[in-house]
Structure 1
Amino acid sequence: MREVSFIKQNKEKWLSFEKAIFNNDFESPDELATQYIHVVNDLAYAQTYYPKSKVVVYLNQLAAKAFQKIYKTKREDTNRIISFWKTEIPLICYEYRKFIYIAFMVFFAFTFIGVISAANDGAFVRSILGDHYVNMSLENIEAGDPVAVYKSGSNWGSFIGITINNLKVGIIAFVMGVFLGIGTLYIMFKNCIMLGSFQYFFYEKNVFWESVRGIWIHGSMEIFAIVIEAAAGLILGASILFPGTHSRYTSFKKGAKIGVKILISTFPFTFAAGFLEGFITRYSNVMPHALSVFIILSTLSLISYYYLIYPFKIQKQITSTPTTSTLTV
C-alpha cells in the first residue's frame, strides 16, 4: 500500500484517538487499551514500509501518549483515595462552582437577616436560641467567660458528639436538596439565622471579640463545610429541576452521584473542626490572641484554598496539556 493511501485510510481514526486522549473521552479503560493496540499495529506497519516517513514519528508520539494515559489510569485506580481528593473533587468543584458561589451568597444573605432581626427585635434572640441558652450565656458573660459552653464535658466526648452533630447537619442539608433544593435552603435559613442572631447577641453585650475567639477557632471549617454541603444539596435539586437533554431520572442519578462526592469531601474538614472544638476551643480565653487569630486564619485559608482556588489550578493544568499532532497528508 502506498504511504498516501495508508494515511488517508487511517487518518480519521488516528485524529479521533488523539482527540479522545487529550480530552480523556473514553467510555472505559478497555476501549483505551483496544485503541492503543490498533495504533501500535499501525506504527509497526509504518516502521516496516515507510521507515523514514513523518507518519512514523507521529504514530510513535501518539502511542507514547496513549501508553502514558493507560499507565496514569492504572496508577489512579491504585491510588483511588488520593486521586479522589487531589483531582476528582477539585474538578467537580470547578465544574459546579456556580452552585458553591450561590450557596455562599445565600449563607451571607440569611446570616445578615439574622443580624438585622436581632438588632431590631430584643426578643428575637430568645425566640431563636431559647431562654435557657440565652440565660446561660448571660451568666457566663457575667462570670467573665462568654463561651464557657464550649468547655463543658470531656475533650473526647465533646469531639465525638460535636462531630456527629455536624455530620448530621451536613447530610441533612444535602439530602433535603431532593425537594427541588428548597429543603436545603430551609436548613441553611435555620442555621444562618441562628448564627447571625447568636453573633449579634455577643456584639450587643460587648464581648464580640471573645465570642469570635471561642467560636471561629473551630467554626471557620465547620461553617464553611456546611456551606459546601448545601451547595451539594442545590446541585441535587437542580438535577431534578433542570435535566437538560437527559431524562429527569438520569439527571437525578448524576446529580446525586456528584452531590455525594462533594458531601464526602467535606468530612475530613468536619472531623478537624470537631477536634478543634473538643480540644482547642476550650482554651481560647487563655491562649495568646495571636495564636487564636493564627488558628482561625489558617483553617479558613486551608478550606478556602481547597474549594475556591485549587480547583482552578487543577483545571488549568489539564487544559494546558500540549498536543503533539503533526500529521499531514
Structure 2
Amino acid sequence: MRETTFIKKNLPRWKKYQEEPTEDPDEMAARFTSLLDDLAYAKTFYSFSKVTGYINSLAADIYQRIYGNRQEKDGRFQRFFLYELPLIFRKYHRLLLFTVIFFLLFCIMSAFSAAHDETFVRGVLGDEYVSMTEKNISNGDPFGVYGTGDEFVMFTEIAYNNIYVALSCFIGGIFFGIGTLYILMKNGVMLGAFQYLFFAKGLGLKSVLVIWIHGTLEISSIVITGAAGLVMVSGLIFPGTRKRLDALKKTARDAIKMMICLIPVFLTAAFLEGFVTRHTKMPIALSVSILLLSLVFIVGYFVVYPIHVYHRGFRLDEAGKVIKPVK
C-alpha cells in the first residue's frame, strides 16, 4: 500500500483518537491495539517517515493513560501541585511575562507622572488617604494605618477585597482581555503612585521593608491572576487548529486551575497584612526574611520550578493529564 493511501485511510481514526480521548478502559485498550498494528505496518514499510513517529506518539499517549491511571486516584492532590499546575504555568510563561511587563510599565509611568505633577498622587489615591498618610509621617508613624483596628477583622476584610479584585481581574478576561488589562493598569498606576509617595518623603527603603511583607504575595498574585484572565480568552482569540469554542473551553480550564492555587496565596497575604505588617518596628532581619521567602516562593514555584519539571521530560497531553518521561 502506498504511504499516501495508508495515511488517507487511517487519518480520520487517528485524529479521533487524538482529539476525542476516552476514559473507558476497554476502548483505550482497543485503540492501543489498533495503533500497535498501524505502527508495526508503518515501521515495516515507512520506517523513516514522519507518520511512523506520529503513530508512535499516539500509542505512547494511550499507554500512559492505561498504566498511569492505575495510580491516578492515589496522590491526585500531590500530582496536581507537583506536576500538572507547574506544567500549565510553563505553557503560558510568555503570557505571564507579558502581564508582568504590562503591569510594571504602568507602575513606572505612574511614578514618573507623580514626580512631575504634584497633584497626581492625590488624584490617584484620593485626598483623604494622602492627607492621613502625611499626618502619620509628621507624627513619626508613617505606616500607622496598618496598626489600626482588630487583626482578625482586618484580615477578613483584606482577604475579601483581595479575592474580589482577583476574581474581577480574572473574569475581565471574558471581554477579550480588556477588563483584565484595565484592572492591571489601574492597580499598576495605584502602586506606582503609592510607592512614589513614600520615596518622595525619604521613606522608600522603610516602605519596602514594611509594606512588601504582604505586598510581595499580594501584588504578585494580582499579576498572575491577570495572566490567568488572558489565558482564558487566548483560546477564543487564537484557537489554533481547534474550533473557537473548544479552544476556549481548554484555556478556561487551564485558567481556572491557575486561579485555584492563588486563593491560599491571597489568604496568606491577607494574614500577613492583618497580623504581621502592623508591627512596623520589627527587626530588619525578620522583615527581610519574610519578604525574601515570599519572593523565593513566587519566582520559584511559578517560574523556576515549572521550567525544571518541563526539562525533566514531563508533559501534558491533549486532555490535560500529566505524561511521565519515558526512561
* Contact residue 25 and residue 66 of structure 2 kept, 8 A: no
Give the letter aligned to residue 190 of structure 2: M
Shift in alpha-carbon separation, 1:31–1:149, aligned structure 2, 3 A: farther
The answer to whether 1:181 aligns with 2:177 is yes
Give the secondary structure class of the aligned counterpart of 2:112.
Answer: helix
Of stretches 197-206 and 261-270 in structure 1, the one that deviates more from structure 2 is 261-270
Q: Which residue of 1 aligns with 2:46?
A: none
Equivalent-residue separation in structure 2 for 1:291 and 1:215 (angstroms): 13
Q: Which residue of 2 aligns with 1:105?
A: 101
Q: Which residue of 2 aligns with 1:233?
A: 229
* Contact residue 32 and residue 70 of structure 1 kept, 8 A: no
* Contact residue 236 and residue 247 of structure 2 kept, 8 A: yes
Match of 2:260 among 259, 264, 268: 264
Q: Which residue of 1 aligns with 2:10?
A: none
* Contact residue 163 and residue 274 of structure 1 kept, 8 A: yes
Shift in alpha-carbon separation, 1:282–1:313, aligned structure 2, 3 A: same
Aligned-pair distance for 1:68? 8.1
The TM-score, its normalising length taken from structure 1, stands at 0.78
The TM-score, its normalising length taken from structure 2, stands at 0.78
* Contact residue 232 and residue 263 of structure 1 kept, 8 A: yes
Give the secondary structure class of the aligned counterpart of 2:312.
Answer: helix
The answer to whether 1:298 aligns with 2:293 is yes
Shift in alpha-carbon separation, 1:33–1:242, aligned structure 2, 3 A: closer
The answer to whether 1:213 aligns with 2:217 is no
CA distances 1:264-321 after superposition (whole Å, capped 9, x unpaired): 11111111111111111111x2211111111101111111100001111111222593
Aligned-pair distance for 1:32? 7.8
Aligned-pair distance for 1:70? 4.4
Q: Which residue of 2 aligns with 1:134?
A: 130
Q: Which residue of 2 aligns with 1:309?
A: 304
List 4+ stretches of structure 1 deviating above 4 A: 35-39, 65-71
Give the secondary structure class of the aligned counterpart of 1:318.
Answer: coil
Aligned-pair distance for 1:122? 0.3
CA distances 1:11-39 after superposition (whole Å, capped 9, x unpaired): xxxxxxxxx9xx9x954362686259969
Query: Could you list the runs of 5+ residues in structure 1 that have no partner in the other structure?
Result: 1-19, 43-64, 324-329
Equivalent-residue separation in structure 1 for 2:272 and 2:154 (angstroms): 10
Give the letter aligned to residue 150 of structure 1: Y
Equivalent-residue separation in structure 2 for 1:254 and 1:68 (angstroms): 21
Q: Which residue of 1 aligns with 2:25?
A: 30
Q: CA RMSD in A?
A: 3.0
Q: Which residue of 1 aligns with 2:55?
A: none
CA distances 1:102-151 after superposition (whole Å, capped 9, x unpaired): 11111111111111111111000000100100010011111112111111
Equivalent-residue separation in structure 2 for 1:70 and 1:251 (angstroms): 25
Percent identity between matched residues is 39
Equivalent-residue separation in structure 1 for 2:166 and 2:132 (angstroms): 27
Equivalent-residue separation in structure 2 for 1:315 and 1:73 (angstroms): 21
* Contact residue 146 and residue 210 of structure 1 kept, 8 A: no
Q: Which residue of 2 aligns with 1:58?
A: none
Aligned-pair distance for 1:72? 3.8
